[in-house]
Structure 1
Amino acid sequence: MKNLFNIYIHADPSHPYNPPFSGHFFNRTIRSSKPTQRGSPSLIASARRLLSEALLDDPSNARFIILSTSCIPLHSFNFTYNMLFQTNKSFIEILKGEPKSFVRYTARGNADIMLPEIPFEDFRIGSQFFILNRHHAKLVVNDEKLWRKFKLPCVFPKYCYPEEQYFSTLLNMEDSSSCIPATLTHVDWSKRLGSHPWTYRDTEIGMELIESLRQRELRYGNGGVENQTEAARVDPNYSFLFARKFSRNCLKPLLDIAGDLILKN
């Protein structure tokens, strides 16, 4: 199994931590890691650095999955691997007409700042947790045209979450037909805390929670899944492969059920 995947870690060097001395995460932190800040272009830059490292490090890398430290797997490695290789398309949320889309578009001052490269009708919003094929990973790291706009500082930071806009807009403009417009990382926005989704606590962890997250229906963007016939043709029952956000206190109860459920093929 080990030769089927590589792990790359972007660790903010301004926050010291004790790196692992063995296991899959040993010596996997990329040297180009830099400080990041939520709601800033630094999160786009960190994802671009990760993708660049993965592209250069191993030419056999075919799927590029962005996850956070608060993400957990919902299925075994074999289930996840087999599902991802049913199609060569990328899984990325591409949402059109979301609430407050225009104020997000103009967060850098006004609409003219994004022009002519990014007309408002091409602007999209989506999760920063995506799964790209190799072609799209290259497209992201080689892009300069849209990156030049999205790395500009925001005048209205309340509406500025460029990491939730850049990737979806870029893939929508450059190759939307090769994307399944949905994220495979579930978040619970029904109990949001301000601009943050719900963070699960250790008292909530159990087999029932994992089973329920597996059964949640994906939200397809860009007009719905009927416009993305690949999704229906390959497997009408695509399910979430990951979920977030889970607090650190969830680790023990998650490990307690991992063998009987999460990691069981």
Structure 2
Amino acid sequence: MMSPTPLSLFCVLLICLPLAIVFTVVTPPATTIRSITSTSTSTSQTRTNPETRVIETTRITTTTISSSLPARPPSTTEDDDQMLFRRAAGVKPDPLLPKRLAFMFLTTTPLPFAPLWELFFNSTRAQEKLYNIYVHADPSFPYDPPFSGVFENRVIPESKPTRRHSPTLISAARRLLSHALLEDPSNSMFALLSSACIPLHSFDFTYEALVKSDKSFIEILKDEPGAWARWAARGERVMLPELPFEDFRIGSQFFVLTRKHARLVANETRLWSKFKLTCLRKNKNTCYPEEHYFPSLISMEDPRGCVPATLTHVDWRGRHDGHPRTYGVSEVGPKLILALRKDVPRYGVNVDGTNGSHSSMRKRGDPFLFARKFSPDSIATLVRIANDVIFKD
């Protein structure tokens, strides 16, 4: 046999070298991942601190998994909401009989007063199923204990994260209204409540007070201190031309709307195009969109269709931090409940643009139906006095 010449060996090398390179490049990365996992395991076994071991394993696992996931698609929150709102705006304007009340809870925490509300909803006429419950629960927060009893399975699937000083609280309220409109054509009045709210009367009293009304109850205040700074929170002329300063209103974010106004809110886009804009960072302390959007909208579109007052009692006296007074457990008792009941709502702007606080509006005698804020540790006292005080009208 002839021995290979230098030329033939050089040819063989030219052929084999590219194959070796290709094989190395296309080797599956699974081997690399397994080696990382193996290294992590062997390394963790030499450590004596269990916290360090958990952190190391988590770091490796997270890196490996995230590298194989596809890129997150763009957020469709706005599109999803607009589709929901358009569907809700198309429901029939008149409620079916019997009329029902929609209780809408906006929360980022478990409902600390659920036991009291349970008693409220399980009383006399409430058994006729004259109500519906809806909960908007920010999915970025834990809920332990979970919602149960009358609140079980009542969290609306459209719930999304909410944040103070942002338009997300407007969107959350609009989602609740829209879901309630779509779910039950008997929903007649729509009450927005917080997790810190309690009822001040029995269900029967509350039902009769609301169902007999053909008007919404929403606080609408004009020329409040600091109003211009709130209007200009996004920039001095940003709200124009959709919302001139003379049409800007302020009021409590907690309201009771008629079915007509619930549909109006679901269908609205003009003011929302301004209120959805982010406030300037320097104006954070004047940015409360949820206290401006609804009062301004109802005042501009249908001032004769509302009573310009909220039926949720709150005490702002002496507060300057954006949070109302919280009643502690030592303050809660029959005396406080009766005092809150006797108080008179603050009536805002009349149809003619004048302040209604000292006019015939005060003769209406509208009762406060709800109150806030109460400390969670007062629940035992509230439950104890429920039947003899709160539900005794």
Query: TM-score interval w.r.t. the shorter chain?
Result: over 0.9
Structure 2 residue aligned with 1:73: 199
Structure 1 residue aligned with 2:47: none
Q: Cα deviations across residues 132-184 of structure 1 (Å, max 9, x unaligned)? A: 00010010011110011001000111100000000000000000110100000
TM-score between the two structures when normalised by the length of structure 2: 0.64
* 2:373 aligned with 1:248: no
Structure 2 residue aligned with 1:257: 385
* 2:329 aligned with 1:206: no
| 3-state SS of paired residue (1:10) | strand
Structure 1 residue aligned with 2:186: 60
* 2:256 aligned with 1:131: yes
Partners of 1:163 and 1:63 in 2: CA distance: 19
Alignment length (residue pairs): 260
Partners of 1:225 and 1:88 in 2: CA distance: 19
* 2:216 aligned with 1:97: no
Structure 1: 4+ residue segments shifted above 6 A: 226-229
Contact map agreement 1:180 1:228 (CA 8 A) in 2: no
1:95: how far off?
0.2
Contact map agreement 2:174 2:266 (CA 8 A) in 1: yes
Contact map agreement 1:14 1:35 (CA 8 A) in 2: yes
**Per the alignment, do residues 256 and 48 of structure 1 end up closer, same or farther by CA in structure 2, a change over 3 Å counting?**
same
2:366 aligned to which of 238, 247, 251: 238
Contact map agreement 2:222 2:248 (CA 8 A) in 1: yes
Structure 2 residue aligned with 1:179: 306
Contact map agreement 2:250 2:292 (CA 8 A) in 1: yes
| 3-state SS of paired residue (1:62) | strand
2:240 aligned to which of 115, 119, 133: 115
The answer to which of 35-44 and 220-229 deviates more is 220-229
| 3-state SS of paired residue (1:49) | helix
Higher RCO (Cα < 8 Å, 6 or more apart): 1
Contact map agreement 2:347 2:355 (CA 8 A) in 1: yes
- Bigger helix share: 2
Q: Cα deviations across residues 215-239 of structure 1 (Å, max 9, x unaligned)? A: 111111012448997x67xx72211
* 2:321 aligned with 1:194: yes
Partners of 1:45 and 1:228 in 2: CA distance: 34
| 3-state SS of paired residue (1:7) | strand
Structure 2 residue aligned with 1:11: 137
Q: Cα deviations across residues 31-89 of structure 1 (Å, max 9, x unaligned)? A: 01011111210000000000000000001100000000000111111111111123210
Q: Cα deviations across residues 12-40 of structure 1 (Å, max 9, x unaligned)? A: 1000213234x211100000101111121
Unaligned runs of 5+ in 2: 1-125
1:247: how far off?
1.1
Structure 2: which amino acid aligns with 1:77?
Answer: F
Sequence identity, in percent? 56
Structure 1 residue aligned with 2:279: 154
Contact map agreement 1:177 1:228 (CA 8 A) in 2: no
Structure 2: which amino acid aligns with 1:65?
Answer: A
Partners of 1:97 and 1:173 in 2: CA distance: 15
Unaligned runs of 5+ in 1: none
Structure 2 residue aligned with 1:88: 214
**Residues 27-66 of structure 1 aligned to structure 2 (within 5 Å):** 27-66=153-192
> Which has more radius of gyration?
2
Q: Cα deviations across residues 102-159 of structure 1 (Å, max 9, x unaligned)? A: 010000011x211111111110000000000001001001111001100100011110
Structure 1 residue aligned with 2:58: none
Structure 2: which amino acid aligns with 1:185?
Answer: T
